[in-house]
Structure 1
Amino acid sequence: MDAFLKKLMQYFRFPVLLAIILIVTGILQFSLMLGNVRGEHFDLKLFQLSPDTIRSIKTVEDTVKTEEDREQVASEIKPVYHYSAEIATNRASMIKSIFDYVLEVKTSIEDGQSKKEKEAVTEQRVTELRKKLIALKTDGQGLQFTDQELTTLFALDNDSLRKTRDELTAMVKEQLSGPIRSEQVSEVKAKIDKEIREKADFPEVIRATLISIGRFSIMETEKQDTDLMKEQVEQAKANIDPVRILQGQIIVQEGQVIDRDVFRQLELAGMLAEHTSFKPIVGLVLLIILQMSFFFAIFNNWKAEDRTKTRDLIITVMIYLLSIVVMELLGLVSNEFDVMIGFLFPVAMAPMLIRLLINERIAIIMTIMTAVAAGVIFQEGYATVIQMEVSLYIIFGGLSSLFFIKGIERRSRILQTSMSIALVNATFITFYLLLTQSTYGMRELAYYLVAAIVSALLSGALTLGLLPFIESAFGMLSSFRLIELSSPNHPLLKKILVETPGTYHHSVMVANLADAACEAVGADGLLARVGCYYHDIGKTKRPGFFVENQMGTINPHDNLPAKTSRDIIIAHAEDGAKLLESHKMPKEIIDIARQHHGTSLLKFFYYKEKEENPAVDEASYRYPGPKPQTKEIAIISVADSVEAAVRSMKEPNAEKIQKLVHAITQDKLQDGQFDECDLSIRELKTIEAVFCETLNGIFHSRIEYPKPK
């Protein structure tokens, strides 16, 4: 995997590689979650039997049914009528005016003496009366009299005219005194017609004229108020709520005939195969783009080496996609149960893996992203867009796992931590059950309790099971792995202890110094400590050639040429690296063994050779390197030299130790051994202070006990 990452880094700059990986991740996530947003669709025809009980996957308005209900309520609104009492008075006034005009004209134009004169007068009266009657026309309509009818009116004496006027007026008033609707006008006209015909007081000669006047006078006194009725209809329609097909509502039962209403509802809900909606798909795309954008921002702004960021990115997306796959597997059986199957999901798996392999910040983001994806995957299609119960369950369980996992030093403690997570899960599920205000039987309650425990235990088991594979595949070094490597029972540490006990003691001392210094400057103290245990393992190849293992015996270098001694001493760094590689040790530990001397000069043998050969090349007496590439290795290189130098001092004290530590640190600085790591001058001063404090505690003055007499 390391070689694969190097190739990727050769071909792409990190921002480009980041974008490519996230695009691929987004496409895979879309493929996995597409079925969760598309919902169920059915290939159904009119009047066939429904193969299943079909529930609506969304809430949608049934516009046709809504309109039918509104028209129904509108048809039930009764017409509104308005009675006008003025009509009777107006029509009576009209009749009175007709007779008054007759009397007025008759008085103004007197009768002639001769027959011819009488005819001329009558004609003149009729003409004048017609002029006056024009004023009685309403809306262009008026009573049409024939000349004969008007002539008969003039034939009556004035008293008869007045009497007839009053009686006809009273008769019409009486008929119009009550409400008369348009459909009743004909009936009332027939009634007054009959009354006039049966009235003996009316002169026979004008009876036909009176009937015309009476019938014309009758009209509707109670008219329909169309504006008010229209307002009532609109108000009634507005009071009708839209008919909605609700999410989860049963549209058709299994075996029921799919009639036109059912077919229309299925069509409106978008559940027919030929009416698939693309809106949920677009929504899923937008959600994934939002999630991938968060990942891009986090990793692009992360201050770390590109190789480290690339490795951690790949691990993050792999765990994220694995979580989605686990959700989908649970989602496949969720419809077969009435309980919330999502509560079985191992909520702490992804957060714990990311926390142990990368860092807490990415683990928190992973918890949120996983919760969002779970809300979509476990939503039941007719309940909500996102199943918030499961999302919150994952957030609480995931965040609690990050709290409980702090300080864990052994893998076995993960399962113990799982029980704490189970308690959090059970608490949240209790909250969920109480807020639903539903009644649950013992089987449901037992399931939810088991789900809380299973989710936590699965989280721990999967974390334990996946952690070694990921560490091995990516050559990562988690705190668990480091603690395992620090065990004295490790075969390589046993080898150092048995074959080179002096080197083992030296390594432990260097480890104490390096650990304390790394913690002081924010470096990985545990990595430095474990690395120190193995940094001189190459000395096991020729243990007697290193002074700490000679135990007072003859030093073999006294009888060897400087070049031979040089080759033996310098070789221990590469020998150690190769030995560690053969045992599949982590790259970080191998780098410490190979780089802890950097390209420093083997001064003792260089000057020994120079005494015999002044033209000796200094470079030939330097370690091959490379120089320390990390803070941890740089600190180990200083600690290695300091421990050996202080151990060889006679009567060390605080002042001597301080001068020696400063001299060694400055020598390495001036020699350029820190040029390829990000160790600052300020941090070097802190490291010197920590070394002095630690060494003073080790080499403190002791009380001289009196000799026995």
Structure 2
Amino acid sequence: MKELINKWYRNHALIYKLLLLLSTTFFIVYLFPKTGKFRYSFEKGKPWQSENLYSPFDFAIKKSESQLEKERETVISNSEVYFEIDSEVAASVKDSYLQKFNAVFKDSLTGFEDRVLLFKVGQNALKYLYQHGILNSVFNYPDNQDVILVENNKELNRIQFGELIKQSEIRSYLERLLNQNNLTKYNKEFLALFFDLIEGNASFNKSLTNKALEAELSKVSPTRGVVSEGTLIISKGQVVEEGQYNILNSLKSEYESQVWSSNSYNWVIVAYTLLVALTLLMLLLFLRKYRPKVFENNTKVTFIFFNVVVMILLTTLVINYNSQYLYVVPLCILPLVLKAFFDARLGLFAHVLTVLLLGFIVPNSYEYMFLQIIAGIVTILTVSELYKRANLFISVGQITLIYIIAYFAFFVIHEGQIFTLKWTTFGLFILCGLATLFVQPLIYIYEKLFGLVSDVSLLELSDTNTKLLKELSNKAPGTFHHSLNVANLAEASANEIGANAMLVRVGALYHDIGKMKNPTFFTENQSTGINPHDELSPKESASVIINHVLDGIEIAKKNNLPDRVIDFIRTHHGTSLVYYFYMKEKAADDTVSEEDFEYPGPKPFSKETAILMMCDSVEAASKSLKSPTSTKINDFVESIIDKQVESGQFLNADITFKDIEAIKKVLKLKLANIYHLRIEYPE
């Protein structure tokens, strides 16, 4: 049991990665649709590239959305409309007609014959107006629209809308009637009588109309015909015409929407799990082979997997809501974030794998994958210094332009023309570009959550007005000046060999902060000429010198410096000797142990930490140069760095001899400039 626990403990990091792989796989598979996936890809007007396709089962040919919409519009335009007739209104108007007529047309105003004729004209007018009904409001139906008149939900008559009297038509009708009977001199009184008398009795019955419309719309079939099992759908090499295209789309839709049996469903889950696990395993293998330091850090591996899952989750949510907004998801944030915290190669690799996983669930997967991979490559190539805001805006503009150009090209390939181009999709690409700008606050959030450091934070730390560097300049001004010189040398060296110049500069600025604890024990801070080491033994002096590394780590942690910066404090002396005091002790005692005068390490384990070690040693020792010449400087730099190489200080760093030679060249040139020397050329 004890052996099992020990084995578990020794491999706990690997076990964690295995659990992370499995949990991420299951979560992604949970997000994926659990339906079948149509195995063929096809385009209208293009040849069918696969083998002859026969119908695997009976299925209905679905109408296109445009066909269905056209049929629905036809049904709506031809649908019957219901109007409710209130017969009591007509009866009431006719009953009150005699009383109001007598009040308006008295014997003293009209002759007997005119009065009788006017009365009959009015009766005929009322009979005509209320024959079908008078509308109580304004409606915009065409005159040939079928109308059903009902009373108390009982059908009375079927007419056309034009047969119902509109209130705007009453005046002209009455004037025409009076004119036909030579009674125009009574126009004013007769019209006043009718407008005071007439009421609309035909009102729109919304409930019955909607029920009738729904019933008619429900009769619109979403399909047109059936393809029987075993029927040849399309032959290899045959051009996909309109008819075959609709049939293929119907088969695809039927295949992807069919309900799986429990046995088939389980197999689909297993298949998805295998593919997703294989993809994520490729990511882990990449980290193990090409980024071993990242692979060994479980926090960083978790961070990478977390970002992949977030992108897949966002895309899945958008697809479930409305797939037409698919390109709003700012997928290019993924390579940007990974490049900010790691490097471009890792960012692009993770981005491509994420796009491959999304290919399972997005519509038009080939087009989507092509667009996103091209956009990811452009992201990696264009964004060089993320901490510069202008660079990010320019890069986002370029990414958006690439999206638009690629989408335009695909649309022309599919449709063969540009007149039906969906301009709203370009708007989605612009929104995607704007969303990508969120990467800067996102990087800040990630730094706090995962304890990582990006170039943006390094830029802030490189400001010499920070609290810690101000304290260093006040307590140990000589050390501060030394750190600035080392930072300049290290940055130039890093640029020469393609290392992270910003990181090595920040590391150089903070590498000696431990000297603040006992500043006068270091020669660069001894302005009075008094050396406290004169009162100590060589071993005690060496202990004070060595402790500045441990003190620096302690101060850095108290001030929440990132681990990547603390690494420079740990390694800037590696496991080298405090040589001066070692030789002083050895002169008095031949049995002296090197361990008492050796820095605790570790040795530099990256290009950046190796650069700092070289630049720190050269800059510090250069103060002892007397009457420097180009030859002296060359020999001096060669001697110091060769000694570090021989003592194995760079064995753990991924730095080559070629890089070391390039760094030597930079240091020689910089020191020559510092001492205002000209390069001596051979005669």
| TM-score normalised by the chain length of structure 1 | 0.59
Structure 2 counterparts to residues 40-59 of structure 1, below 5 A: none
Helix, strand or coil at the partner of 2:626: coil
Q: 1:308 to 1:411 in 2, by over 3 A?
A: farther
Q: 1:420 to 1:494 in 2, by over 3 A?
A: farther
Aligned AA (2:400):
A
Does 2:272 correspond to 1:295?
Answer: no
Unpaired segments ≥5 residues, structure 1: 1-6, 40-57, 67-236, 252-264, 380-385, 703-709
Does 2:460 correspond to 1:490?
Answer: no
2-structure distance, mates of 1:65, 1:673: 74
2-structure distance, mates of 1:289, 1:672: 41
Unpaired segments ≥5 residues, structure 2: 1-6, 39-52, 62-228, 235-242, 679-683
Aligned AA (1:354):
L
Q: Is the contact made by 1:496 and 1:504 (CA closer than 8 Å) also made in structure 2?
A: yes
Partner of 1:233 in structure 2? none
2-structure distance, mates of 1:532, 1:609: 30
Partner of 1:542 in structure 2? 518
Q: Is the contact made by 2:276 and 2:357 (CA closer than 8 Å) also made in structure 1?
A: no
Q: 1:553 to 1:675 in 2, by over 3 A?
A: same
Aligned AA (1:25):
T
Partner of 2:370 in structure 1? 392
Correspondent of 1:688 among 661, 664, 679: 664
1-structure distance, mates of 2:333, 2:59: 50
Partner of 1:144 in structure 2? none
Q: 1:413 to 1:654 in 2, by over 3 A?
A: same
Q: 1:34 to 1:552 in 2, by over 3 A?
A: same
Q: 1:65 to 1:624 in 2, by over 3 A?
A: closer
Aligned AA (2:375):
G
Residue 325 of structure 1 and its aligned partner are, at CA, apart by 0.6
Partner of 2:618 in structure 1? 642
Helix, strand or coil at the partner of 2:509: helix
Correspondent of 1:374 among 332, 354, 358: 358
Residue 696 of structure 1 and its aligned partner are, at CA, apart by 1.6
Partner of 1:345 in structure 2? 329
Q: Is the contact made by 2:491 and 2:504 (CA closer than 8 Å) also made in structure 1?
A: yes
Does 2:32 correspond to 1:33?
Answer: yes
2-structure distance, mates of 1:389, 1:342: 12
Number of corresponding residues:
480
1-structure distance, mates of 2:261, 2:677: 91
Correspondent of 1:452 among 429, 432, 436: 429
Q: 1:614 to 1:34 in 2, by over 3 A?
A: same
Partner of 1:423 in structure 2? 401
Aligned AA (1:528):
V
Q: Is the contact made by 1:367 and 1:399 (CA closer than 8 Å) also made in structure 2?
A: no
Q: Does 663-672 or 611-620 show the bigger shift?
A: 611-620
Q: Is the contact made by 2:35 and 2:257 (CA closer than 8 Å) also made in structure 1?
A: no
Helix, strand or coil at the partner of 1:565: helix
Helix, strand or coil at the partner of 1:511: helix
Q: Is the contact made by 2:54 and 2:231 (CA closer than 8 Å) also made in structure 1?
A: no
CA RMSD of aligned residues (A): 4.1
Residue 456 of structure 1 and its aligned partner are, at CA, apart by 1.3
CA deviation vs aligned residue, 1:590-641 (integer Å, no higher than 9, x gap):
1211221223322333444556666654432333333333343333223222
Q: 1:544 to 1:8 in 2, by over 3 A?
A: farther
Partner of 2:503 in structure 1? 527
1-structure distance, mates of 2:262, 2:8: 44
Between the aligned residues of both structures, percent identity stands at: 28
Does 2:514 correspond to 1:515?
Answer: no
| TM-score normalised by the chain length of structure 2 | 0.61
Aligned AA (1:346):
P
Q: 1:425 to 1:240 in 2, by over 3 A?
A: closer
Residue 399 of structure 1 and its aligned partner are, at CA, apart by 2.3
Helix, strand or coil at the partner of 2:330: coil
2-structure distance, mates of 1:639, 1:628: 13
Correspondent of 2:569 among 572, 593, 598: 593
Helix, strand or coil at the partner of 2:292: coil
Q: 1:397 to 1:610 in 2, by over 3 A?
A: closer
Q: 1:371 to 1:241 in 2, by over 3 A?
A: closer
Correspondent of 2:347 among 363, 367, 375: 363
Q: Is the contact made by 2:384 and 2:391 (CA closer than 8 Å) also made in structure 1?
A: no
Residue 9 of structure 1 and its aligned partner are, at CA, apart by 8.7
Q: 1:420 to 1:490 in 2, by over 3 A?
A: farther
Partner of 2:21 in structure 1? 22
Structure 2 counterparts to residues 403-418 of structure 1, below 5 A: 403-410=381-388, 413-418=391-396
Aligned AA (1:406):
S
Partner of 1:581 in structure 2? 557
Q: 1:62 to 1:683 in 2, by over 3 A?
A: closer
2-structure distance, mates of 1:419, 1:362: 23
Q: 1:38 to 1:410 in 2, by over 3 A?
A: same
Correspondent of 1:330 among 308, 312, 318: 318
Residue 586 of structure 1 and its aligned partner are, at CA, apart by 1.7
Residue 332 of structure 1 and its aligned partner are, at CA, apart by 2.4
Q: 1:634 to 1:654 in 2, by over 3 A?
A: same
Q: 1:667 to 1:406 in 2, by over 3 A?
A: closer
Aligned AA (2:337):
L
Q: Is the contact made by 1:60 and 1:269 (CA closer than 8 Å) also made in structure 2?
A: no
Correspondent of 2:443 among 464, 467, 484: 467
Helix, strand or coil at the partner of 2:600: coil
Q: 1:621 to 1:431 in 2, by over 3 A?
A: same
Helix, strand or coil at the partner of 2:348: helix
Correspondent of 1:480 among 456, 465, 484: 456
Q: 1:543 to 1:271 in 2, by over 3 A?
A: same
Residue 577 of structure 1 and its aligned partner are, at CA, apart by 1.1
Q: 1:473 to 1:11 in 2, by over 3 A?
A: farther
2-structure distance, mates of 1:527, 1:65: 64
1-structure distance, mates of 2:232, 2:615: 85
Residue 415 of structure 1 and its aligned partner are, at CA, apart by 4.3
2-structure distance, mates of 1:548, 1:341: 63
Helix, strand or coil at the partner of 2:437: helix
2-structure distance, mates of 1:412, 1:65: 55
Partner of 1:659 in structure 2? 635
Helix, strand or coil at the partner of 1:377: coil
1-structure distance, mates of 2:59, 2:527: 101
2-structure distance, mates of 1:673, 1:271: 65
Aligned AA (1:452):
F
Q: 1:270 to 1:659 in 2, by over 3 A?
A: closer
Partner of 2:48 in structure 1? none
Residue 8 of structure 1 and its aligned partner are, at CA, apart by 9.2
Greater gyration radius? 1
Residue 474 of structure 1 and its aligned partner are, at CA, apart by 4.3
CA deviation vs aligned residue, 1:537-556 (integer Å, no higher than 9, x gap):
11122223322123354333
Q: 1:674 to 1:468 in 2, by over 3 A?
A: same
CA deviation vs aligned residue, 1:432-459 (integer Å, no higher than 9, x gap):
55556599899x63x4343112111212
Q: Is the contact made by 1:496 and 1:503 (CA closer than 8 Å) also made in structure 2?
A: yes
CA deviation vs aligned residue, 1:148-190 (integer Å, no higher than 9, x gap):
xxxxxxxxxxxxxxxxxxxxxxxxxxxxxxxxxxxxxxxxxxx
Residue 579 of structure 1 and its aligned partner are, at CA, apart by 0.7
Residue 516 of structure 1 and its aligned partner are, at CA, apart by 3.4
Structure 2 counterparts to residues 141-156 of structure 1, below 5 A: none
CA deviation vs aligned residue, 1:197-254 (integer Å, no higher than 9, x gap):
xxxxxxxxxxxxxxxxxxxxxxxxxxxxxxxxxxxxxxxx999979999466599xxx
Residue 576 of structure 1 and its aligned partner are, at CA, apart by 0.9
Aligned AA (1:575):
D
Partner of 1:230 in structure 2? none
